[in-house]
Amino acid sequence: MDVFVADYAGFCSGVARAVKKAETAPKPVASLGPLIHNPQVVEDLAAKGVRPVASLDEVQEGRVLVRSHGVSPRVLEEARARGLEVIDATCPFVRRSQELARELASQEIEIIIVGDPEHAEVRGLVEWAQGKARVVSSAAEAEALPRGLRRAVIVQTTQPQELLQAVVAALLPKTGELRVYNTICEATRRRQESAVRLAREVDAMVVVGGRNSANTRHLAELCRSTGTPTYHVEKAGELRPEWFKGVKKVGVTGGASTPAWIIEEVVQMLQNLPEAAEELKTPEVGEENEALYSKPNGETGESIPESQAVAGQVSRLRRGSVISGTVVQVGDNEVLVDVGGKSEGVIPLNELSYRSFNHPSEVVSVGEEIKVMVLRPENEDGHPLLSKKRADRRIAWDRLEAAFSSGEELRGEVVGVVKGGLLVDVGVRGFVPASLIERGYVEDLNSYVGKTLRLKVIEIDRAKNKLVLSQRAILEEEFEKQRQATWDSLEPGQVRKGIVRRLTNFGAFVDLGGVDGLLHVSEISWGRVEHPQDVLQEGQEIEVKVLGVDREAGRVSLGRKQLLPNPWDTAAERYPVGSVVQGKVLRIAPFGAFVEVEPGIEGLVHISQLADHRVEKPEEVVSVGQVIPVKVLKVDQEAQRMSLSLRQALRDQTKNYSASSTREPSEEGSGVKLGELFGDLFGTTKPQE
C-alpha cells in the first residue's frame, strides 16, 4: 500500500509560533485554555511547566500565555491590572481580524462574523467588536437575518472559503452596502485545497488531529465530500487494519494543531501494514468515538470492547509513547528491556536500529539505559513489544526541529552519494545538496563518504521525512565573521600574512582573512616584474604590508617590496661615480634609454650619452633587451635616480684596449678593427659633423 502525505499538513505558522513561545517562556506559565487543539501536545507542554487554566481566577501571580486563538481586550486588561506578565501568542491572522473588528465597531456599521459561535477565536472577536456583531455559522442563518443598510463581514480564520461565499451570497439581496473582509488564513486555504486534491487521487484518506479542533473537522468533512472513505484519528494507535482492506493508495493530512511527529507515526504505521495489523486490532479508543469513523455512506465500524480500550490506558505502557528502559539481555534474535512492567519488554531485531548490524551487541549492551517506543502493551506472550529504532527516530526529529528553530550546529557522517548531493546520518537520513557542501564548487562528491560534516538544518518536513541540511551555511557565517573582524582590524602600515588567491596581468589578489587585497605588480618587487606569475604562485603564503584601506569602496592595497631590502639604500657604495657596469635596456623613450644595472636599480642613458655622433632616435643605437656597458655619471639615492653613459663606457673600454695593445690599432693595419669590437653599438651611422 502506498502512502501519500498532503502538501500542506500539520502545524500552521501561527500554531508553531504559539508552541515555540510556550516552550521558550520562563516556567511555570499558565496558558489561558489549552494552547492548541491537540491533547498530546497540551500534555507534553504541561509536563514542561505550561499549565492550562480556564480563567485568570486560577492565576495568582507570574505570567500567562495567550494562545493562538487570542482573547478579548477585557481579558488582556484584567491580566495587566493584576500585575501578570502577558505572553501574547495570538496568531497574526487572528490579530488582524481583532483589529478589523475594533475599527469597524467605531463606525455605524453592523458586523457579521462567519464562524462557530462557541469557538474561542469567535468569542474573542465578538468582544473586540464591542457587542456590535452577529455570528452566523451557515448560509441559512444569514438568510434568516433581517434587512440591513450597512454591513461588514469578517470570517473565522479556519473556516472554508465555500462557507464565506455562501454567506455573502445570502446577505447581498438584503443589504444596502456590504463590505466583505476575507480574513481566512491563507495556510488554511492551502491545507484544505491540498487535502481535497489528494483525497480525489487515493482510495482512502486519514485526517490526523484533535477531535475538538474545528479546522481538523473541516478537513475531514471536505475529504469526505469527495466520496473517498475518510477517517479522523488523533494518533497512530487509533488506526484499524480493516479500514484499508483492498486499499492500494492512502492519503494522509493533518490539521493546523497536529504536530509533525504524530503525522509521521501515522505514516509509519500505515507503511507497516499488513505487518502492523496485529497491533492495530486493539486501538485505544472507546465506543463513544465510533461516530468519528463514519464513512461517507453513514456506515460505521465495529464497536471496540470497553475493556480493551481501558486496558491500553491502565499503565504508562501506552501505544506510541516513548519511555526509558534498561537492557537486561541481548540475545541473537531479540533484546529484553526492563521498562518497569510485570515482565520485560521485547525489541525484535528489525526494531533495534535503522542501521545494519551483524549482532544486537553492536547496538546495545546489558545494563545500558535506552529510549524505546511502545508498539503494543502486550504481545501474545504477555511482553510489551518495543522499538528502539522508532524511539531514536522520534527523538532525532525532535532534536532536528529544535535545531532548525535555534540555528544550532549539528554533525553528521556522510553515508552515501546520490544525484545532486550527499546523504548524511543525523539520527535520520538527511540530504546535503552539492551546492551547500562548501563555499566553492565541489568536484568529487565521493571523497566525502565517511567524513563528518558540520551542518545546519535549512528545511525540514517531518511528515514527509524531508530534511535538507547545509554545511556551506556554517562556513559562510564563519567567513563573514572573519571578514568583519579583518576589516575592523585593518590599518595602513600593518604587516600581515596572506594567501595568494588569484593572479592577473596587473597584480595578485591576496586573502588576508576574508578580505582580498590587491598587490599591484609594481609593488611585488624592487625589480621589474613582467607578470606576477613570474614571482608568485596561487595558494602561496606571503607577507605583505598594508599600504591603504578604503572601507567604503571595500578596497585594500598591499605591498611586498617594502618588506624586502631596498637596493637603492647602498647603490652609491656599490656603483661609485666613474665605474663601468653591464646593464640591460628595459625601455626606450624619445630622450634616451632606461637601463637596469640590477633588479630594482635602473638609470637613464640620455640620448646625448648614447654615442659620440649625433643620434636622432635611441633605437638607432640600442634596443630593448640588449646588454650594454654603461658608465655611472651620478647616483641620487634619495630620489632613486642614476645617470649613465654608454658613450663614455665605450671610450673607456677603447682606451683600456689601446693601452693594453702592443701597437696602435688601425683600420688599415693588420690588427683588430674597432668595428669588430663594438660593431653592434656603432652600426652604420655616419660620423657626427
List the catalytic residues.
Answer: 121
- C-beta separation of 168 from 175 below 8 A: no
Spell out the long-range contacts of 347-356 with Cβ–Cβ below 8 A and sequence spacing 24 or more: 347/372, 347/386, 347/387, 347/388, 348/385, 350/389, 351/375, 351/386, 351/387, 351/388, 351/389, 351/390, 352/388, 352/389, 353/388, 353/389, 353/392, 354/389, 354/392, 354/393, 355/425
Q: Which of 209, 206, 376, 230 is nearest to 308 (CA)?
A: 376
- Cα–Cα distance, 377 to 375 (Å, whole number): 7
Strand partners, 432: 422
Grid cell, residue 415, equals 553515508
Q: Which of 266, 244, 243 is nearest to 255 (CA)?
A: 266
C-alpha cell at 610: 648614447
Q: Give the C-alpha separation, 23 to 10, whole Å.
A: 18
Separation between Cα atoms, residue 654 and residue 374, nearest integer Å: 109
Helix spans in 82-147 (H): 92-105, 120-128, 139-143
| Largest CA-CA distance found in the chain, in angstroms, rounded | 140
Q: Please give the DSSP secondary-structure letter assigned to residue 411.
A: E
The crossing angle, in degrees rounded to 10, of helices 260-271 and 388-406 is 150
Question: Angle at Cα 269 formed by Cα 274 and Cα 396, nearest 5°?
Answer: 145
Which cell numbers in the block locate residue 436?
551547500
- Pairwise CA distance, residues 125 & 510, whole Å: 63
The C-alpha cell that represents 11 in the structure block: 502545524
CA 667/CA 483 separation, integer angstroms:
74
Cβ–Cβ < 8 Å for 120, 160: no
Contact (CB, 8 A) for 326 and 386: no
Residue 263: CB partners within 8 Å, gap ≥ 6?
Answer: 5, 9, 10, 208, 252, 254, 462, 463
Phi and psi, residue 315, nearest 5°: -115, 180
CA distance 591 to 589: 5
Strands (DSSP E) contained in 568-671 are 580-589, 592-598, 601-606, 627-636, 641-645
Q: Is 471 exposed, middle or buried (0-12, 13-18, 19+ CB in 10 A)?
A: buried
| Closest alpha carbon to 511 in 478, 479, 550 | 479
